[in-house]
Amino acid sequence: MRASTAVLSTGLSAGLITVLLTAPPVLGSPPDDANCLGVVTAQRAVANHDIGEHASSQDEPRLGLGNVAEEVLGDGTHVGEFGAFLGEIDGDPATNCP
């Protein structure tokens, strides 16, 4: 019994490793603008000094940035895409996502 369990475990592990190593990189790749929310927020904080309070000071439950991004830009929207969008529409030349 132990030998068959070890063989099965080794086989499953080898199969999983093969799948993970040969899977297309697109499966786990973030979009090019994955960090745009942080970039745009930091730019605005430095330029205007008007960024709000930490989320922990807000009422519970909070909607969450990921949910807001999908609500505004559609299902599957990454938070970074939302940051790029905000940098474009805020009318502030100091904020953009390169």
Q: What is the pLDDT of residue 8?
A: 45
| Structure confidence by residue, pLDDT tens digits, 16-34 | 455 444 544 444 555 577 8
Q: What is the pLDDT of residue 98?
A: 79
Q: What is the pLDDT of residue 30?
A: 55
Cβ burial of 92 (10 Å; 0-12, 13-18, 19+) is middle
Model pTM above 0.75: no
Q: What is the pLDDT of residue 18?
A: 53
